[in-house]
Amino acid sequence: MDNIHSKEGYSTRLRLNEDELGQLRQMIQMQWLYRLQLLIPESVQYFDQLGIKYYHLASHLINHEEVWPKTSRVFPREAVAIIRNMNFFKTLQKMLGNIIISDEENFGWENIYWRLVRPGSSDFGSLHADKWFWDLGQYGQFLDFPHERLKVWIAIYTIAGKNGLCIVPNSHLKKDWKWHVEERSGRKKPIFDDELSGHFKCVLLPLESGQSVIFHDELLHGGAVNLAETTRVSIEFTMLIPT
């Protein structure tokens, strides 16, 4: 993980095994389907038949943004316990030591959450550094001892080269990126001002399902237009690591 703190600012070394990937897919599918069951019971059978990978084929039946705020996509406490017991997480702990996962939504438990990006849509987040959200106080939790923050992003359903995560290599080393604040849906959001400057290169990481990215809190990153014919599904969480 040394390259997270050096020039690159990220690592793609960690990968889930097939059993872990299958279990995470099942956990997401259950939570996704349960929310649809509550909101549109008359159509839930159709979504179930399609499966989350082809969610976009029926997403016109709902208001996507209203149905899927971040709070609806945070795993319950019991699911976090299962994830913490997986081999990939144990590997993380061996490499990094004690890991606390942030509770960004103030639920009272560690927040691991998933995201949906439909083909050709604007469901993905714009370019930013996670540190900016923390600087704005949007994630609430501040530990009273020295620590660093690292983000984990895991591909659950992705097509390498067609969708996934964009990063700007080396960008965590530059400390004066320009950004401003806008309020959206009742929350402050940092908006990148240098995005059109052309002074950097955004790279779409060629990630297959089961691969992960661990990256520096100040690394510029964001989603990408989904050019595949399936819905992109990913998981992410922030690690707070005592130093």
How many Å apart are CA 108 and CA 140, to the nearest integer? Answer: 12
Residue 243, pLDDT > 90, answer no
Total number of residues shown for the chain: 243
Mean pLDDT in the chain?
92
The pLDDT score that the predictor gives to residue 7 is 79
Residue 69, pLDDT > 70, answer yes
Q: Which of 227, 208, 117 lies closest to 162 in space, CA to CA?
A: 227
Residue 151 φ/ψ, nearest 5 degrees: -100, 140
Q: List, for residues 176-230, the tens digit of each pLDDT value.
A: 999 999 987 778 889 898 766 667 788 999 999 999 999 999 999 999 899 999 9
Q: Which of 29, 27, 16, 19 lies closest to 231 in space, CA to CA?
A: 29
For residues 108 and 41, is the Cβ–Cβ distance under 8 A?
Answer: no
For residue 117, what are the domain limits?
2-242
As beta bridge partners, residue 37 has none
Total domain count, the chain: 1
DSSP 192-236: ESSTTS--S--EE--PPTTBEEEEETT--EEE----SSS-EEEEE
3-state helix, strand, coil in the chain (%, to 5): 30, 25, 45
Q: List, for residues 186-199, the tens digit of each pLDDT value.
A: 788 898 987 666 67
Report for 22-26, 124-128, 180-184: range of highest mean pLDDT: 22-26
How many Å apart are CA 226 and CA 118, to the nearest integer? Answer: 7
How many Å apart are CA 55 and CA 59, to the nearest integer? Answer: 6
Residue 237 maps to which CATH number? 2.60.120.620
Tokens of 162: 């067609």
Tokens 């960008």 map to which residue?
A: 171
- The model carries a pTM of 0.94
Tokens 């995560």 map to which residue?
A: 165
Per-residue confidence at 64, pLDDT binned at 50, 70, 90? very high
Tokens 């990978």 map to which residue?
A: 53
Residue 76, pLDDT > 90, answer yes
Q: Residue 49 in 3-state DSSP?
A: helix
How many Å apart are CA 24 and CA 17, to the nearest integer? Answer: 11
